[in-house]
């Protein structure tokens, strides 16, 4: 265990006295900021955008958007008008409170207008990664009974519209869209739409966003978040992102990942700051240029990106002026101490780790700017949140004992349902009271939490959370494959790479050509990032008596580790 600490100058940060605030804080103190205080009803999109359009912030830039082809900016007033227009496009085709509207498109200003417009109608937005292939798209639209999909002409090829009976309308963002009963031209309708919209006032417990996330067993789960989450989005923007009025903030995440909505949309705009969104692919020079061009002050990214920037070399970064940066934050995977050291070397800033999950809706355990930092530790729970290490019965373990990282139920942004599967939802809670994260960790004597790994087998590759089951299911659709088991294999750059163990059907011979064919099959059927980089052929795979593939055994073989208890293993 490393106890090396890095201290901060605390005077100018938002959460100056963590211990004092932790001991006295109540979430009700934050609630006073929002409109439900007066009316009992609320809408997170109104609070994030429209509220500021009525103040001196109306002409402040809310969104700085850029990609390879576009460079645009929008004030809070313009964001209000354009999200109203997008809302009207959806309202005119019958979108109502509670309907699921899925958004399957690359980052663009329109994506953000549509997301906000959907939520303004009281409907539930379902953002999807543009990398998804047909099977992945279908699973999610089917499970959620989506009524409307907003996509581009390009991505429409991956939407099996005829196999989705609940899907009533497909809104296409693009040129020369042929309209009929099903297909709607976004651009034409957006131009004609009114910029005035009656925001639907909803209960704070009403749903607003549905993020699908992978588990190690079963299909991807729809994690439902409600408007009430805004309390924590807002407060963590202050405490953890340390956002202040004159900040220019950049969160690099795509809205297909919860980080790209909670911290790419809601948190910065609830806090009323200028938000940078960069479309297109990762490229080190592009990213440094983005930081320089917009004079970004607060930057939220992920260890995989930091590691790739590190890999691009310290010479490259010297070509850019990053002197505007004052606070750097990380999420998604454990933040390696070497990365923190690199950050200090090249920017003179500490990178602050934050731990949370799709299911938790916002940050829970963090390194605050005002806190002494222990590199390699995730930090401490935010005020208003109780975290502990518990055993499998829910008993709290003493310091330095590894166990289940658990959170006392009831923080404002906690998920409220797994769509269509309340049994799964209930299974997250031990003894009714502790939310069990599925991560293992320990807490030291000073209350710092140290991440150890996933208890189940979910793979984190380049910051994407990939469930082995989804990949295995796809592999089994390949005519040559009898059995497949997928694991994450540690990789210094990507966190993990995907390795597949495959047993072939009779009559098929292993070959390099077949490996390539299998890889392409997953690429086309699921997503490029889900395709196994390594494939190994086996006569058969280790399985439990109930037929579950034992990935931990595959992993142990691969890494030459002890296999652990094999009592449930089939013969």
**Among residues 66, 235, 259, 297, the one that binds ligand 6R9 under rule CB under 6 A:** 259
Size of site (CB under 6 A) for ligand 6R9: 22
- When binding is defined by CB under 6 A, the residue of 88, 118, 252, 358 that contacts ligand 6R9 is 358
Burial 246-255 (b: 16+ CB within 10 A, else e): ebbbbbbbbb
Structure-block tokens of residue 388: 């502990």
Residue whose C-alpha is closest to residue 393's, from 425, 431, 442, 426: 431
Q: Which stretch binds ligand 6R9 (CB under 6 A): 188-196, 314-322, 353-361, 490-498?
A: 353-361
Q: Does 411 bind ligand 6R9 (CB under 6 A)?
A: no
* Closest C-alpha to 169, from 190, 142, 143, 148: 148
Instruction: Kindly state the smallest distance separating residue 299's Cβ from ligand 6R9, in Å.
Output: 16
| Closest separation in Å from C-beta 403 to ligand 6R9 | 15
Among 50, 139, 439, 472, binds ligand 6R9 (CB under 6 A): 439
Chain-centroid distance, C-alpha 461? 13
What is the CA 240 to chain-centroid distance, rounded? 17
Q: Does residue 44 contact residue 201 with C-beta atoms inside 8 Å? A: no
Rounded to whole angstroms, what are the CA distances from 447 to 106, 197, 214, 378, 434? 41, 48, 30, 11, 18
Note whether 334 binds ligand 6R9 by CB under 6 A: yes
User: Residue 529, interface with ligand 6R9 (CB under 6 A)?
Assistant: no
293 burial type by CB count under 10 A (0-12 exposed, 13-18 middle, 19+ buried):
middle
Q: Assess 449 for contact with ligand 6R9 (CB under 6 A).
A: no
**Closest separation between CB of residue 213 and ligand 6R9, Å?**
5
Q: Which is nearer to ligand 6R9, 383 or 463 (CB)?
A: 463
Q: Does 355 bind ligand 6R9 (CB under 6 A)?
A: yes
x-or-dash pattern for ligand 6R9, window 457-496, by CB under 6 A?
--------x-------------------------------
| Binding residue for ligand 6R9, selected from 357, 487, 527, 554, defined by CB under 6 A | 357
CB-neighbour burial class of residue 91 (10 A; exposed 0-12, middle 13-18, buried 19+): buried
* Binding-site member from 258, 265, 443, 466 for ligand 6R9 (CB under 6 A): 258
Whole-number minimum distance, CB 214 to ligand 6R9, in Å?
9
Enclosing H/E stretch for 237: helix 230-239
Q: What three-state secondary structure class fits 319?
A: coil
177: DSSP letter: P
Q: Which is nearer to ligand 6R9, 110 or 439 (CB)?
A: 439
Tokens found for residue 9? 């100058």
Give the x-and-dash track for 374-393 against ligand 6R9 (CB under 6 A): ----x---------------
* Three-state secondary structure call for residue 365: strand
Which range binds ligand 6R9 by CB under 6 A, 3-11, 225-233, 436-444, 467-475?
Answer: 436-444
**Sites of contact with ligand 6R9 (CB under 6 A):** 213, 257-259, 331-335, 353-358, 378, 437-439, 451, 454, 465
């Amino acid at each position: 265990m490393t106890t090396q600490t890095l201290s901060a100058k605390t005077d100018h940060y938002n959460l100056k006295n963590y211990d004092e605030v932790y001991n006295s804080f109540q979430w009700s103190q934050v609630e006073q900021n929002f409109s439900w205080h007066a009316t009992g009803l609320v809408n997170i999109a109104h609070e994030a955008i429209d509220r500021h359009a009525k103040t001196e912030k109306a002409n402040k830039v809310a969104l700085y958007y850029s990609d390879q082809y576009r460079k645009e900016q929008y004030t809070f007033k313009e964001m209000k008008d354009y999200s109203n227009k997008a809302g009207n496009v959806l309202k005119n085709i019958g979108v109502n409170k509670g309907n699921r509207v899925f958004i399957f498109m690359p980052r663009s200003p329109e994506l953000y207008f549509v997301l906000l417009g959907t939520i303004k109608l009281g409907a539930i937005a379902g953002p999807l990664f543009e990398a998804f292939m047909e099977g992945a798209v279908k699973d999610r639209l089917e499970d959620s009974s989506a009524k409307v999909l907003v996509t581009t002409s390009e991505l429409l090829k991956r939407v099996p519209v005829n196999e989705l009976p609940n899907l009533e309308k497909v809104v296409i963002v693009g040129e020369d869209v042929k309209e009929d009963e099903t297909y709607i031209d976004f651009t034409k309708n957006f131009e004609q739409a009114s910029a005035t919209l009656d925001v639907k006032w909803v209960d704070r417990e009403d749903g607003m966003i549905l993020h699908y996330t992978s588990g190690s067993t079963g299909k991807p789960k729809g994690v439902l978040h409600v408007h009430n989450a805004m309390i924590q989005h807002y407060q963590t923007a202050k405490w953890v992102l340390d956002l202040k009025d004159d900040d220019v903030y950049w969160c690099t995440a795509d809205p297909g990942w919860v980080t790209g909505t909670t911290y790419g949309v809601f948190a910065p705009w609830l806090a009323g700051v200028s938000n940078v969104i960069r479309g297109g692919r990762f490229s080190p020079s592009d990213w440094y240029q983005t930081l320089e061009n917009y004079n970004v002050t607060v930057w939220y990214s992920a260890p995989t990106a930091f590691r790739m920037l590190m890999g691009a070399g310290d010479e490259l970064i010297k070509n850019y002026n990053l002197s505007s940066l004052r606070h750097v934050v990380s999420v998604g995977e454990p933040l390696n101490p070497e990365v923190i050291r690199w950050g200090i070397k090249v920017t003179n800033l500490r990178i602050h780790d934050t731990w949370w999950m799709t299911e938790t809706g916002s940050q829970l355990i963090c390194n605050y700017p005002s806190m002494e930092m222990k590199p390699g530790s995730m930090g401490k729970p935010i005020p208003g949140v109780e975290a502990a290490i518990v055993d499998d019965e829910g008993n709290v373990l003493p310091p330095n004992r590894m166990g289940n990282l658990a959170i006392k139920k009831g923080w404002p942004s906690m998920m409220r349902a797994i769509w269509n599967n309340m049994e799964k939802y209930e299974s997250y809670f031990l003894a009714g009271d502790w939310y069990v994260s599925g991560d293992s960790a320990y807490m030291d004597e000073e209350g710092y939490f140290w991440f150890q790994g996933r208890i189940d087998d979910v793979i984190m590759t380049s910051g994407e959370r990939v469930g082995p089951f989804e990949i295995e299911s796809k592999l089994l659709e390949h005519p040559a494959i009898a059995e497949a088991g997928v694991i994450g294999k540690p990789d210094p750059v990507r966190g993990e790479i995907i390795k597949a163990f495959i047993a072939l059907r009779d009559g098929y011979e292993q070959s390099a050509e077949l490996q390539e064919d299998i890889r392409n099959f997953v690429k086309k059927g699921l997503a490029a990032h889900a395709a196994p980089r390594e494939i190994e052929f086996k006569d058969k795979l280790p399985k439990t008596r109930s037929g579950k593939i034992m990935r931990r055994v595959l992993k142990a073989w691969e890494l030459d580790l002890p296999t652990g208890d094999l009592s449930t293993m089939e013969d």
